[in-house]
Structure 1
Amino acid sequence: MTTSDTPTHDTAQVEALRERMIERLWAVNALRTQPVADAVRAIPRHVFAPEFPLEKVYDPKAVLKTKVDEDGQATSSVSATWIQTLMCERADIHSGMRVLEIGTGGYNAALISELVGPTGQVTSIDIDPEVTARARTLLAQAGYADRVNVVLGDAEHGHPDGAPFDRIIVTVAAADIPPAWTDQLVDGGRLVLPLRIRGFQRVYAFTHHTGGLLVGETGDHAGFVPMQGLGAPAPTIVPVTDAVSLTTDATPVPAPDLLPEVFAAPARDQLTGVRIGRNAYFGGLQMWLATTLPGFATLSGDADVLGEATMGVHQTPAVWTGTSLAYLLLPKVSTDPDQWEFLARGHGPDAAVLLTTLVEHVQRWDRDHRTGPGPRFLAHPDLPSDTTQVIRTRHTRFVALWDQRDTPQLDWEADPEK
């Protein structure tokens, strides 16, 4: 189906499905203010995804993949409504604002347009000419042709012709914050984006302070398609076995011939004493380890090869020192089918030291941060770099500040149709 083949739908059915979606978004805290709810109610979401059935279009958790590559991986999509409304809420968009959206699809730009109103301006930029052409067509069909400026370009440079912006919302997974985004954001402006820090993608809301400092709050996990162009991620991936690889942006980078040899050495295990129950969330532990452990990396691959259940989908936190490797696993507790206990496993001459470090970090997370909201982040090109707590990317240095503050989280348990 092409964008010109928009099917005709029963108006009553569309309205019922949309109202049910709005109800569910309120229930899980993905809607928090009436203006965002009104924007969702005003927009015919099905116009922006004509190839999908209505039930899927108005499912708040459904990601609508509109373009895939030769490997079947999505390169463009209409994101799930819950994450779109949540990002709009965190951006705190008001009437009259100038907003830049990075990564276009049409629907999210229409949401932003409703929020800024007739006195605001919305620019949506994407690197793919097919995606921008589709967005223009669908925005016109939905009645937003004159309210959203769709631009073809590499988002690494932002959009200087439309700057400065009060808000920048990024709808593709970023691995860095290019200088152009900060330069084109007004003082006090907000940058909301899915940012991948040391392998773990979360949604962040940064506020721009004088001097180019960004102060950000982390939020929910999300799975956006990766950025293309100059900002495309380029992590170091080193094979461990045919079925396992290690990904890192830390130093030292593992030697391709040494890492498999270390991994093949006898393993040493140490239980942490920290347990979680069924369906418990442990993304905060992943972020804690990623931002506090020197030499942090992730192991991805076959759980059978690793020997125990991995944390997450084929990804588990790891540490590499140049001669030794340690990583965290999550085996089931044999005496309780509803409990899992974090297990540290190490290989190499310094395995005992690494295991102690890893276990102590897990225990500290359990004691001090398990129920907290996660870290705030400072981001700036020139933060002091003489500490292991600084995470370096091509353009930016990040520092995670782990304090306890009250940040609301999504609660799908509140949704009877979870």
Structure 2
Amino acid sequence: MTTVDSFAGSDEASRARREMVDKLVASGAITSGGVKRAFRSVPREAFMPEGTDLATAYNPNDAVAAKTDQHGRTVSSLSAPFIQAYMIEQAELAPGMSVLEIGSGGLNAALLAEVVGPGGRVVTVDIDPDITTNASAALDAAGYGSRVEVLLADAEHPIPGLGEVDAVIVTVGSWDIPPAWTDHLTPDGRLVVPLRMNNITRSVAFRRVGGHLESTSLVVCGFVPMQGDGEHHERIFELPDPHDGTVKLQFDVTPKDLSPLDGVLGKARTELRSGVDIPRGASFADLHLWFASFLPGFCRIAAGEGTELAEERRWFPFGAVADDGSFAYLAIGPTLDGTGDEFLARGWGEGDAGPAMVTQIQAWAAAGRPQPDSVAFWPNGSDHDFPQGAAVLEKRHGLVTISWPTTP
């Protein structure tokens, strides 16, 4: 049962919904008939914060903030339609299946209810009572209240009475994979999770292979971070800028000694060319995950107002530090012949950070600018059989490996 007409019920809302779905199909985010029907059926406007216009509700590429904290930071959001579609497709759902959603806004649960149909089961949980209250109200109003069970819980731990489900879909950024999630999965079930791997997030669809998890697909994404017992805080290191601003470096794996970075932004500027061009319109998001896998001292960067870096153009929030106190970040600039752009390593301090970044840019290009072959999760206590050359990231509940093609 759907109740589209009880909301905007208007030609305008129906048209916005159709146009959104057409765009998602054209982009490849929607590939199956069941997901397409779900997106055509669920009235997104019913789940939006008050005052949200239809253009915003049906923009296929943008999330909508559902709750902010006292500092104005988003702590809960309604995911962008494109990533909702990708993740539901990753879960490989079918009518009659059961699904646990971790991170509840109501909207995604309604989509899941449409995909699994009246014979399926959808349970959505969140740690925030404001979110679960709003989700329940929206689901009731949209006609999905009897088809979705909303629970207040910290999903780091097992959900009492849930039993096994065919899929677990996590809609918050997770640094780890707790045992509770896989314990709730049927033997051939799917886990879809936005997994943070050394500051870089991918929506990873996992299946069981023996005693560990292997990816079946990866999608570029970004989510607000997990709260509760599964929350993880990266270390933030602040570099004072000579102009009284601050550049913040965020580390997942913190170098042993950051004291050599003191005063680095007052040192001589550096720039190294990689000789690796950037084809117009080409995505290089996989370079960021390559950095997260292999670049020593890798970090994310945020430049405060008034800093030299903030005033610069054509740079990306990814960098690296070296033990010698040098700091480099990824940028792009014109090639020497002026016919295009190439990757640059800009920074401060004459040291190893810039050369290390250029080396990894060139290695990624020499390998054919690859996407990762796979991501695997090895729970604590499992037998490890890591792929040759894989990056290994340590987590609380196990180890993550990222495998890449070994030849161009």
Asked whether the 8 Å contact 2:319–2:329 carries over to 1, the reply is yes
Q: Which amino acid aligns with 1:125?
A: V
Q: Which runs of 5+ in 1 are unaligned?
A: 1-5, 406-418
CA 209–311 in structure 1, closer or farther in 2 if over 3 Å, else same: farther
- Map of 2:247 onto structure 1: 244
Equivalent positions of 1:24-103 (< 5 A) are 24-49=23-48, 51=50, 52-103=52-103
Asked whether the 8 Å contact 1:45–1:57 carries over to 2, the reply is yes
Asked whether the 8 Å contact 1:326–1:344 carries over to 2, the reply is no
Q: Secondary structure at the match of 2:95?
A: coil
- Map of 1:142 onto structure 2: 142
CA 288–87 in structure 1, closer or farther in 2 if over 3 Å, else same: same
Asked whether the 8 Å contact 2:46–2:142 carries over to 1, the reply is yes
Query: What is the CA–CA distance in structure 2 between the aligned matches of 1:300 and 1:362, rounded to whole Å?
Result: 21
- Map of 1:194 onto structure 2: 194
Point out the more displaced range, 324-333 or 136-145. 324-333
Asked whether the 8 Å contact 2:201–2:222 carries over to 1, the reply is yes
Q: Which amino acid aligns with 2:13?
A: V
Query: What is the CA–CA distance in structure 2 between the aligned matches of 1:356 and 1:316, rounded to whole Å?
Result: 15
Matched, 1:22 2:26: no
Q: CA deviation at 1:320?
A: 3.2
Point out the more displaced range, 261-270 or 113-122. 261-270
Equivalent positions of 1:346-385 (< 5 A) are 351-352=351-352, 354-370=353-369, 372-382=370-380, 383=384
CA 245–345 in structure 1, closer or farther in 2 if over 3 Å, else same: same
Asked whether the 8 Å contact 1:156–1:230 carries over to 2, the reply is yes
- Map of 2:175 onto structure 1: 175
- Map of 2:333 onto structure 1: 332
CA 277–106 in structure 1, closer or farther in 2 if over 3 Å, else same: same
Q: What per-residue deviation string (whole Å, max 9, x for no partner) do you get for residues 188-222 of structure 1?
A: 211112122111222111112332x1112553322
Equivalent positions of 1:149-298 (< 5 A) are 149-211=149-211, 213-217=212-216, 219-241=218-240, 242-255=245-258, 257-298=259-300
Query: What is the CA–CA distance in structure 1 between the aligned matches of 2:24 and 2:270, rounded to whole Å?
Result: 46
CA 8–281 in structure 1, closer or farther in 2 if over 3 Å, else same: closer
Q: Secondary structure at the match of 1:258?
A: helix
Q: CA deviation at 1:258?
A: 3.0
Asked whether the 8 Å contact 2:335–2:342 carries over to 1, the reply is no
CA 183–320 in structure 1, closer or farther in 2 if over 3 Å, else same: farther
Q: Secondary structure at the match of 1:332?
A: strand
TM-score norm. by structure 1 comes to 0.85
Point out the more displaced range, 130-139 or 11-20. 11-20
Matched, 1:318 2:320: yes
- Map of 1:415 onto structure 2: none
Point out the more displaced range, 214-223 or 109-118. 214-223
Asked whether the 8 Å contact 1:101–1:109 carries over to 2, the reply is yes
Q: Which amino acid aligns with 1:376?
A: S
CA 148–404 in structure 1, closer or farther in 2 if over 3 Å, else same: farther
CA 246–59 in structure 1, closer or farther in 2 if over 3 Å, else same: closer
Q: Which amino acid aligns with 1:85?
A: A
Q: CA deviation at 1:268?
A: 4.5
Q: CA deviation at 1:298?
A: 2.8
Query: What is the CA–CA distance in structure 2 between the aligned matches of 1:384 and 1:247, rounded to whole Å?
Result: 31
Q: CA deviation at 1:240?
A: 1.7
CA 268–154 in structure 1, closer or farther in 2 if over 3 Å, else same: same
TM-score norm. by structure 2 comes to 0.87
Query: What is the CA–CA distance in structure 1 between the aligned matches of 2:372 and 2:230, rounded to whole Å?
Result: 26
Asked whether the 8 Å contact 2:7–2:45 carries over to 1, the reply is no
Q: Which amino acid aligns with 1:398?
A: V
Q: Which runs of 5+ in 2 are unaligned?
A: none
Q: What per-residue deviation string (whole Å, max 9, x for no partner) do you get for residues 237-258 of structure 1?
A: 1112242122212243443x43
Query: What is the CA–CA distance in structure 1 between the aligned matches of 2:251 and 2:331, rounded to whole Å?
Result: 21
CA 261–147 in structure 1, closer or farther in 2 if over 3 Å, else same: same
CA 126–34 in structure 1, closer or farther in 2 if over 3 Å, else same: same
Q: Secondary structure at the match of 1:114?
A: helix
Query: What is the CA–CA distance in structure 1 between the aligned matches of 2:100 and 2:322, rounded to whole Å?
Result: 39
Asked whether the 8 Å contact 2:225–2:231 carries over to 1, the reply is yes
CA 307–367 in structure 1, closer or farther in 2 if over 3 Å, else same: farther
Asked whether the 8 Å contact 1:125–1:152 carries over to 2, the reply is yes
Query: What is the CA–CA distance in structure 2 between the aligned matches of 1:155 and 1:42, rounded to whole Å?
Result: 29
CA 294–331 in structure 1, closer or farther in 2 if over 3 Å, else same: closer
Q: Percent identity?
A: 36
- Map of 1:343 onto structure 2: 344
Q: Which amino acid aligns with 1:361?
A: Q
Q: CA deviation at 1:368?
A: 1.4
Query: What is the CA–CA distance in structure 2 between the aligned matches of 1:217 and 1:237, rounded to whole Å?
Result: 33
Q: CA deviation at 1:25?
A: 0.9
CA 299–273 in structure 1, closer or farther in 2 if over 3 Å, else same: same
Point out the more displaced range, 258-267 or 228-237. 258-267
Q: CA RMSD in A?
A: 2.8
Q: What per-residue deviation string (whole Å, max 9, x for no partner) do you get for residues 335-383 of structure 1?
A: 677733222346667x24x54433222112112141x333411111344
CA 387–42 in structure 1, closer or farther in 2 if over 3 Å, else same: closer
Q: CA deviation at 1:130?
A: 0.8
Asked whether the 8 Å contact 1:324–1:346 carries over to 2, the reply is no
Matched, 1:398 2:400: yes
Asked whether the 8 Å contact 1:132–1:152 carries over to 2, the reply is yes
Asked whether the 8 Å contact 2:96–2:119 carries over to 1, the reply is yes
Q: CA deviation at 1:139?
A: 0.7
